Structure 1
Amino acid sequence: MPVNTETSALRGRRREQEALDRLMRDVRAGQSRVLVLRGEAGAGKTALLDYLHEQATAGRVIRAAGVEPESEIAYAALQQLCAPLLGHLDRLAEPQRVALATAFGLSAGEPPEALLVGLAVLGLLAEAASEQPLVCVVDDVQWLDRMSEVILTFVARRLDAESVALVFGARSPGDEEILDGLPELRVEGLSDADARELLDLVLPGPVDARVRDRIVAETRGNPLALLELPRGLTPAELAFGFGGRSTTPLVSRVEEGFQRRIAALPADTRTLLLTAAVEPVGDVPLLWRAAERLGIGLDAAAPAEAAGLIEIGTRVRFRHPLVRSASRRSAEPTELRAVHRALAEVTDPQQDPDRRAWHRAHAALGPDEEVAAELEQSADRAMARGGRAAAAAFLTRAAELTPDQAKRTGRILSAAEARFAAGALADVSDLLAAAELGPLDPVQQAGAERLRAKAAFALNAGRAAGPPLLAAARRLEALDPVSARETYLAAIGAAVNAGRLGGDDLRRAATAARDVTPGGDPSGLLLAALTAWVLQGHAAAVPLFTRALAAVAVENDLDLAWLSGAVAHEVWDDAAFLTRTEQVVSYARTSGTLSLLQAALTFRATALIHTGRFADAAELLAEAEALGNVTGASPHPASTVILAAHRGHEEPALELIEALVRYAESDGLGWNLAVAGYSRAVLFNGLGQYPAALEAALEAARYEDLAVVQWALGELVEAAVRAGADSVAAGARDRLAARTSVVDTAWARGAQALADALTGPAGSVEEHYRTAVEQFGATRLSLQTARARLLYGEWLRREGRRADARDQLRAAHQAFTTMGAEGFAERAGRELAATGETVRKRTLGVREELTSQEAQIARLAVAGRTNPEIGAVLFLSPRTVEWHLRKIFTKLGISSRRELASALRDR
């Protein structure tokens, strides 16, 4: 961390100090707070963090900082931050304890997923804060290693009532967008008056007022620039404002100033400063051992300390991170290699093998198999700890140092796999291209092709991915039949996503896949089913879909989860759809699979919409959005649009639908155009705007989009009947019958009965309506049950059977109101009023008294979950769960968990 020797560093920072004082008051009062101090280099962020440290007299302070040479070492900053708290490790639940111990290399185990590590760190901070308020300071975020950045951002978004402050120092502008959305305090330049006073402290003598004004203007009140740029300049040079107007960026000019000061030091001092800059953790004994190897004495530090560039005490501390970078940039390559070599020689290979390997790699002048092998071992250790980005960095450097071409190729392929696993998809293609310059055996060629296909699909799962996936699948047929089937499946999946925007891509992919060697594994079965669906039609594919669904296991076939969920609609299997989405979310939470959870949450939200659990769906979508803020990946927007359509607020729903259309068209995802049309039809059917609903449903049902066409046909029948387009309604009914007649499920029978009731002859209408209500009632599709009751009630009212109509409409109105389907609720209310019944306003219930998070905690508590178990499900610390339960008890007027179930039922 930088040295703060200037007592004037907090000049003009009253606003920032008051903000930090408020933060500390809140933390002492039992609340958690997060704050990002954001400003350009030299703005005084570290000085403010030092001030916060000084003010935390009633609590404990732990600190960490990103260091540029450490940015490729997995968990480097996180381990630095958590090391003082590891005495609390035994208090964590076993999965979290094991995950954190594995991530930090304290024990061996399966590579931990980021979510489990994040939850473990959250619990560790909460346990430490249970004894006294805890202040966590993380400086120089721009140089955090990727895993530390992800975990700390996750923790920042989940802190609530633990008495923890998590405060970041982030350079702006920078690449740390992952912190976007967190509470922020901008650290700007000083006011002109404060800047002039600070400048006067370092000016060598009187300076013309106009020159002083120019210096203040050029530095924009940056404290470090004001203190550092005038150093070493003569009055004559200052007379022209730092030697003349410069277009060089301010940070570069400050670094150049440090370089000038470094250049004025004795040679041994420069080398010692370089050694300290390259050694990332500030280990003083290690520094002296390396200096001894370099033939440098202890007295070499004095000139650098006298110049205010470095401070060597219990740890090595630089005046500012720019001193570290200035020292490294000033060094010749031979000097830098010599320093790395010395550090490698004095680093314990047993205690710190990865840093030793990294130093050896930077000391190497040319290919070196011994060093490359060490880096490969470091990559293995990084992967075992879940550090995929670090493993990729180790492997990439190992490949560069590998003299044997075949080994080099293998290491490049491994680096590409690690980059893919780390989410650095843009790097995969270049690495694969490099690998293909060397000799690839058939297995390696198959692996490269498969990885290229996976990366293409991950980068764009729409039309752009289809042709390269198909080409890769064809090449893989002779190399690896299993990989070929999986790649063909991905190609068909991309074509399904492309939908109407994919032209003939879907048929082309299915035709090519038809001749591939069949397989009895889940991907092979699903491929055969989808191929039949494309080439032979829905009826021929149903038995194959059913067989494939039975074979897909959530925990073993995660890549197939999204496709199998859509297939469940094609066979009208609501139980499979609901159960699978629940299982995928559960597995993702339990395993901590961050890459899976976001998609799983959105799939599950869609399922919950069908069951009428809108509030629960909204909670999951909010969680998916929060995860996106951590990972940088936005959740799939379709579920949010479908939910908005069913809620029935016209303007916001239409805005989301139009945004989905733009997204679909820009990324070649025509399946989403079908979702947009379906959602617009739902919205307008709910609002009673049937001509608009008819137009939207016609567009949605124009193509046979997987799963969505099934939803769209139901909307089309209703909209067409209400808009007087009887022939259109009959055609949609017949299309629906072709899909429902080949399966035997309550969902299919209910959907068809409702379509027949809307379009059938008068003598059979009531029988069909009753069948629809009964069949939907046998499923968990509460939304469809309510809509069937609404349509039945409307028909009964038109038949003059007001009493019978009230029963159906009352049940529909109550269901829609409880769900939050306000458009349909208002429609049911109007119909109910037309029967002569007074429609009562909705009474306040649990959902309006408890927040959505409180309601979820209450349900989990009623289900018998302990506080740690609830915290694991919702990614909260047990202490926060306890705090929320106290609030829930107060709102419900109870005092214990034993009363919770009855209180929820009563209200």
Structure 2
Amino acid sequence: MDALVRSLVGRQREQEALSSFVTASSGQSLVLRGEIGAGKSALLDHVADLACQEGHQVVRAVGVEAESDYPFAGLHQFLYPLMSHLDRLDASHRAVFDVVFSRNQGAPPSVMTLAIAVLDLLSLASSQKPLLLVLDDGQWFDTVSAEVCGFAGRRLAGSSVKLVVGVRSDVPSHFDTAALPELHITTLSEDDSQTLLDLHHPRLDPKIRRIVLDEAQGNPLALLELPPFLSGRPGRCVEELPGYHGVPLPRRLEYVYGTRIEALDKAVRAELLRGALDGAGSGMAAGAARGTRYRMVDVDAAALSGLLDVDRTNGHFVFRHPLVRSTVVQKATPNERRDAHAALARVYRDDLERRATHLAASTIDPDEEVAAELEAAAKSATRRGGALAAITWLTRAAELSESSEDRSRRLGDAAFIAGQAALPDQAQRLVHSDTAPDGGASPASVAASAYDALYRHGEVRSSRRQVTAALEAVRDDRTCQGMGEAEARLVILLIVTCQYASDAVAWQQARELLDALGDRIPAQSLLYRDAWSDVVRHGAGLRQRVDRAFAEARHLNPWDLVRLGVTAYHLDVLGPHRSHLQRTVDREAETGAIAAAMSMLHLITLDQMATGEWEEAERTCARSLELASEHDHALFAYHSRAYLAQLAALRGQVERARELQAAVDAWARPRGVGFLTQIADAVGITAALSEGDYESAYLYAIGITAPGSFEPYAHQASRTLLDLVEAAVHAGRADEARRHALAARHAGLPDVSPRLALITHGALAMTAEGDEEAAAHYEQAESVAEGDGFPFELARIRLAQGIRVRHSQGPKAARQALLRAAESFERLGAAAWADRARAELRASGMSTRPSSTSALTWQEHRIAGLAASGLTNKEIGERMHLSPRTVSSHLYRVFPKLGITTRAALRDALGNSTEENRG
């Protein structure tokens, strides 16, 4: 210990903090932040030594700038030494790590799923011996790895695991927002600087000593490295050194290291370059076939010159400082760098993405074999959430393509991914670099321009015109037998623009054009066309096709997953697939397909709204709005506001709902974005129903579709079925209500989706001409498979049933339906509806004092009920698409609301609340 203390000069405060950190009885995290050369690495060595003395297992990792876009690259370094514990994990968590380590081709896990699995692995690894994770250069950790470390780092309390991270203060880092405790590493004082200098360079010339102190300004690395450099130049002042005066300190130190590198033998420099380009000394390779990074050999001369150290754990040479690594690369000539990359490509011949990186940098002339490998690596990266890396590889693949067709295709792919990654300017640059032979716009150019106009400005009409013209050219080209990727994307974009237009004429024209293209249209595109355009007329039988497509979801790109998700939304079967969407969002929202992530957040919001998780839905939608605003995607921003308006209307926040409704309508209607104007009208219906203004609700509803019909290609026509019928019944328009309910049955809506089956039977019950018919339809509504997944609609149907039964059979007979409706509205947070149900209960002679369960949200009540039935947190989480920890936190809030302290008391608490109301 004394030797350690003496080696660190002027760091008493830091040593005390690190000593307390290591000896603390519970797990915790700490970030060391400071400028380059401030001594972060030395302090990390110090805390690692302290931990070893305290009996900890120490696992180290180093961020590598070249790998900052590779998903999981950094995390591999921490996980690889702990792999012996994987067999002790449960099957679900082992499956997560199988994907991370590329042992199978499953869908990449979300950050939360992976982080929970990592926490469990760390818990196992530290069960016999405390564990310290040490991360240097954390600013270069890839997004997923940094987020997992941040998530885990905030949850180490009570464990035997500690995490310490070193980051540069001058480089943005994902740890900047990780909310972990920090220790700022400052420069040394004048006295400490002199002490450190005299300790390592005791016989320094006084003049040079003064220059070093002035130049270093308390930076420890400069105090150590400048003296031998300046001493080797007698008679020359600092101002005379080329490339040294007037530049920042890191650049000066690079100059210092550069002089040492130039003095080395050519073979040694080549070996250093291979190590620098591969991140030698930075831990385990991200999935590298050999398991370790490049190992430098025959570089003793570099070690003697102070450029390298020896890793005490394995005896390998490592760079003394990241500046040495970067200087080695900078000093090499272009030919030397290409040769080094070619050698590394041979080393990693079994690692697709790592080999692609080195091939891309080593090849000059067009080479179709190399271009194909880069294209394959780009596809792999896209599925792993690495859109930025995919764009880079595809662009380079295009440059190396031997034919103009392959070059154009790859540039188009890069441009498309750039657009999906919310990089429209880069997408435009890519397509403009690929002009069609006749000087016209290529399909990729049209797609990029149309997506940009649609997403950023909501220009539905002009986007549709562009895409239609391009596809008409494809239709008229008789020499084209098939359809390329760029043309297939135009087909999807045509369907997307028609969906947002929600215009019957536009849809009809699109269907005619797609019919004319015949079997050149991909089969999946026809599924999207039918589900998105008009489920009333084309939705029957589509669910089976959607389920089959989702069975292969792990092989899909994120934008393909969005299309399937939109299809599931129109068929009201999003629930089973929400967890897959959530995992993909967590993976894509930072460096992946951000546009797809925004759409997936909308889909998750819709499913949370449908299942009654309204608080969660608002948080999800707010996140989508934040992303859309950040990336200047006006269409998605107003799409988010439309759903926030719906949520506000459902919860009885009428003023906020109408404010958002007006904003959405004012933006969408002039642009012809009918999809959003229909949602705005639906918000008007819900807000009016919440206030009991049935005439206004009816007028809004018939603005979407006339009673007794379902407006073709109007997606809200079927979704507002129950609204129109209920408004008409209460507004004294019984004939219109009955005609509309019968039209729903005649159109076969119960065969399209579970929600449409539920509300069709509800509408038929509300408008039934006799009590027996009404009872039959109420019973059918209650028995709809998956109907309980739509609690708001079900509660409304039960309320209507209770009102009808009270008038026809008496108060007592109505109580059960009214009570169930009231409890559902209370759990949902539908205040106005809950008041209405309680008023009906009072009219039936029941007490309406709030039950203990009324304070529970819908999700809390559902979790409590499942827990009361005997399910474990893990089983509840699997059923509700939540992590076991989230389930646990919900139950933690439920117990005090119910006035209980144990899980065993749940059943009685939930049962007693119902009995209290019945009394």
Structure-1-length-normalised TM-score: 0.69
- Structure 2 residue identity aligned to 1:495: C
Matching of residues 335-354 of structure 1 within 5 Å: 336-337=337-338, 340=341, 344=344, 348=347
What is the alpha-carbon distance in structure 1 between the residues aligned to residue 721 and residue 185 of structure 2? 61
Tell me which residue corresponds to 1:333: 334
What is the alpha-carbon distance in structure 1 between the residues aligned to residue 825 and residue 543 of structure 2? 32
Confirm whether residue 816 of structure 1 aligns to residue 819 of structure 2: no
What is the alpha-carbon distance in structure 2 between the residues aligned to residue 126 and residue 624 of structure 1? 34
Confirm whether residue 546 of structure 1 aligns to residue 546 of structure 2: no
Contact 1:646 1:682 in 2 (8 A): yes
What is the alpha-carbon distance in structure 2 between the residues aligned to residue 498 and residue 470 of structure 1? 14
Tell me which residue corresponds to 1:182: 178
Q: Structure 1: where are the runs of 5+ without partners?
A: 235-239, 534-540, 569-576, 758-763
Contact 1:4 1:47 in 2 (8 A): no
Identity of aligned residues (%): 26
What is the alpha-carbon distance in structure 2 between the residues aligned to residue 498 and residue 593 of structure 1? 29
What is the alpha-carbon distance in structure 1 between the residues aligned to residue 357 and residue 156 of structure 2? 35
**Offset at 1:267?**
1.9
Q: 1:113 aligns with which of 101, 108, 112?
A: 108
**Offset at 1:183?**
1.5
Confirm whether residue 825 of structure 1 aligns to residue 834 of structure 2: yes
Q: 2:678 aligns with which of 674, 679, 694?
A: 674
Contact 2:390 2:414 in 1 (8 A): yes
- Structure 2 residue identity aligned to 1:546: A
Using a 3 Å threshold, how does the CA distance of structure 1 residues 379 and 657 change in structure 2: closer, same or farther?
closer
More contact order relative to length (CA 8 Å, sep ≥ 6) = 1
Tell me which residue corresponds to 1:561: 564
Confirm whether residue 60 of structure 1 aligns to residue 21 of structure 2: no
Contact 1:641 1:653 in 2 (8 A): yes
What is the alpha-carbon distance in structure 2 between the residues aligned to residue 231 and residue 674 of structure 1? 75
What is the alpha-carbon distance in structure 2 between the residues aligned to residue 665 and residue 199 of structure 1? 68
**Offset at 1:7?**
2.0
What is the alpha-carbon distance in structure 1 between the residues aligned to residue 563 and residue 176 of structure 2? 32
- Structure 1 residue identity aligned to 2:249: V
- Structure 1 residue identity aligned to 2:178: L
Contact 2:568 2:574 in 1 (8 A): yes
Tell me which residue corresponds to 1:777: 782
Using a 3 Å threshold, how does the CA distance of structure 1 residues 806 and 689 change in structure 2: closer, same or farther?
same
What is the alpha-carbon distance in structure 2 between the residues aligned to residue 42 and residue 439 of structure 1? 56
Look up the SS of the partner of 1:113 in the other structure. Answer: coil
Confirm whether residue 262 of structure 1 aligns to residue 262 of structure 2: no
Contact 2:391 2:417 in 1 (8 A): yes
Using a 3 Å threshold, how does the CA distance of structure 1 residues 61 and 775 change in structure 2: closer, same or farther?
same
Pick which of 451-460 and 773-782 moved more.
Answer: 451-460
- Structure 2 residue identity aligned to 1:544: H
Tell me which residue corresponds to 2:529: 527
Tell me which residue corresponds to 2:575: 582
Tell me which residue corresponds to 1:302: 304
What is the alpha-carbon distance in structure 2 between the residues aligned to residue 470 and residue 113 of structure 1? 36
What is the alpha-carbon distance in structure 1 between the residues aligned to residue 190 and residue 672 of structure 2? 57
Using a 3 Å threshold, how does the CA distance of structure 1 residues 835 and 291 change in structure 2: closer, same or farther?
closer
What is the alpha-carbon distance in structure 2 between the residues aligned to residue 329 and residue 4 of structure 1? 36
- Structure 1 residue identity aligned to 2:866: R
Look up the SS of the partner of 1:546 in the other structure. Answer: coil
Tell me which residue corresponds to 2:361: 362
- Structure 2 residue identity aligned to 1:512: L
Matching of residues 19-418 of structure 1 within 5 Å: 21=20, 25=24, 28-29=25-26, 41=36, 46=41, 49-50=44-45, 53=48, 56=51, 57=54, 59-71=56-68, 75-94=72-91, 96-97=93-94, 100-101=97-98, 103-104=100-101, 107=103, 109-110=104-105, 112-115=107-110, 121-145=118-142, 148-149=145-146, 163-166=160-163, 168-171=165-168, 174=171, 176=173, 182-185=178-181, 190=186, 253-265=248-260, 267-269=262-264, 272=269, 276-282=275-281, 298-305=300-307, 314-318=315-319, 320-334=321-335, 336-337=337-338, 340=341, 344=344, 348=347, 358-359=357-358, 361-364=360-363, 366-367=365-366, 390=389, 393-394=392-393, 396-401=395-400
Confirm whether residue 512 of structure 1 aligns to residue 513 of structure 2: yes
**Offset at 1:840?**
0.7
- Structure 1 residue identity aligned to 2:300: L
Contact 1:134 1:165 in 2 (8 A): yes
Q: 1:494 aligns with which of 488, 494, 497?
A: 497
Contact 1:113 1:593 in 2 (8 A): no
Using a 3 Å threshold, how does the CA distance of structure 1 residues 59 and 507 change in structure 2: closer, same or farther?
farther
- Structure 2 residue identity aligned to 1:675: I
What is the alpha-carbon distance in structure 2 between the residues aligned to residue 229 and residue 701 of structure 1? 80
- Structure 1 residue identity aligned to 2:472: R
Contact 2:826 2:834 in 1 (8 A): yes
- Structure 2 residue identity aligned to 1:83: Y
What is the alpha-carbon distance in structure 2 between the residues aligned to residue 277 and residue 418 of structure 1? 30
Q: Deviations over 1:237-296 (max 9, x none)?
A: xxx9x98xxxx999x71322212322443623497465653341228999998675xxxx
Using a 3 Å threshold, how does the CA distance of structure 1 residues 141 and 128 change in structure 2: closer, same or farther?
same
Tell me which residue corresponds to 1:536: none
What is the alpha-carbon distance in structure 2 between the residues aligned to residue 412 and residue 4 of structure 1? 57
Contact 2:868 2:903 in 1 (8 A): no
Using a 3 Å threshold, how does the CA distance of structure 1 residues 630 and 642 change in structure 2: closer, same or farther?
closer
What is the alpha-carbon distance in structure 2 between the residues aligned to residue 815 and residue 559 of structure 1? 31
What is the alpha-carbon distance in structure 2 between the residues aligned to residue 505 and residue 581 of structure 1? 27
Contact 1:126 1:877 in 2 (8 A): no
Using a 3 Å threshold, how does the CA distance of structure 1 residues 83 and 268 change in structure 2: closer, same or farther?
farther
Look up the SS of the partner of 2:59 in the other structure. Answer: strand
What is the alpha-carbon distance in structure 2 between the residues aligned to residue 4 and residue 89 of structure 1? 37
**Offset at 1:24?**
7.6
Q: Give the superposed CA RMSD.
A: 6.3
**Offset at 1:379?**
6.3
- Structure 2 residue identity aligned to 1:647: R
**Offset at 1:66?**
1.7
Tell me which residue corresponds to 2:286: none
What is the alpha-carbon distance in structure 1 between the residues aligned to residue 213 and residue 161 of structure 2? 43
Look up the SS of the partner of 1:517 in the other structure. Answer: helix
Using a 3 Å threshold, how does the CA distance of structure 1 residues 752 and 386 change in structure 2: closer, same or farther?
closer
**Offset at 1:674?**
3.4
- Structure 2 residue identity aligned to 1:80: Q
What is the alpha-carbon distance in structure 2 between the residues aligned to residue 438 and residue 6 of structure 1? 68
Contact 1:53 1:61 in 2 (8 A): yes
Using a 3 Å threshold, how does the CA distance of structure 1 residues 693 and 844 change in structure 2: closer, same or farther?
same
**Offset at 1:84?**
0.5
What is the alpha-carbon distance in structure 2 between the residues aligned to residue 800 and residue 550 of structure 1? 42
What is the alpha-carbon distance in structure 2 between the residues aligned to residue 134 and residue 856 of structure 1? 34
What is the alpha-carbon distance in structure 2 between the residues aligned to residue 113 and residue 830 of structure 1? 50
Look up the SS of the partner of 1:265 in the other structure. Answer: helix
Q: 2:866 aligns with which of 842, 853, 859?
A: 859
Contact 1:43 1:187 in 2 (8 A): no
Using a 3 Å threshold, how does the CA distance of structure 1 residues 862 and 627 change in structure 2: closer, same or farther?
farther
Pick which of 812-821 and 368-377 moved more.
Answer: 368-377
- Structure 2 residue identity aligned to 1:825: A
- Structure 2 residue identity aligned to 1:527: R
Structure-2-length-normalised TM-score: 0.68
Aligned residues: 828
Contact 1:40 1:173 in 2 (8 A): yes
What is the alpha-carbon distance in structure 1 between the residues aligned to residue 627 and residue 146 of structure 2? 9
Contact 1:63 1:81 in 2 (8 A): yes
Confirm whether residue 708 of structure 1 aligns to residue 716 of structure 2: yes
Using a 3 Å threshold, how does the CA distance of structure 1 residues 232 and 661 change in structure 2: closer, same or farther?
farther
Contact 2:649 2:686 in 1 (8 A): yes
What is the alpha-carbon distance in structure 1 between the residues aligned to residue 569 and residue 351 of structure 2? 49
Look up the SS of the partner of 2:305 in the other structure. Answer: helix
Using a 3 Å threshold, how does the CA distance of structure 1 residues 78 and 556 change in structure 2: closer, same or farther?
closer
